[in-house]
Amino acid sequence: MNTGVNIFIKVTMNMGVNIFFKVTMNTDVNIFIKVTMNTDMNIYIIVTMNTDMNISIIVTMNTDMNISIKAKMH
């Protein structure tokens, strides 16, 4: 996107899987999210940004090994 936020999401699991997600946009906000898990779980991360740079993060974990990340800007 073109409104400037750097979002770094690191998911580390016990099985030794490192996943690095980088979403770049255009301003001066850096967000670092690190989620460490002991079991194989489902990670669902939602990053929502408003014009006034409010950030809300929702992390939901279930069984399975699905990782879904959604970044939305208003």
Mean pLDDT of 2-10: 54
Task: Name the pLDDT band for 65 (thresholds 50, 70, 90).
Answer: very low
Per the structure, how many domains does the chain have? 1
Given a cut of 50, whether residue 46 has pLDDT beyond it is yes
| pLDDT, mean over the chain | 51
Instruction: Please state the pTM of the whole predicted model.
Output: 0.21
Q: What is the pLDDT of residues 11-45, one digit of tens each?
A: 554 444 444 444 444 455 555 555 555 555 445 55
Q: Residue 65 sits in which domain range?
A: 5-73
**pLDDT at 2 (0 to 100):** 46
Going along 1-74, which residue ranges are E strands?
5-12, 18-24, 29-36, 42-49, 55-62, 67-73
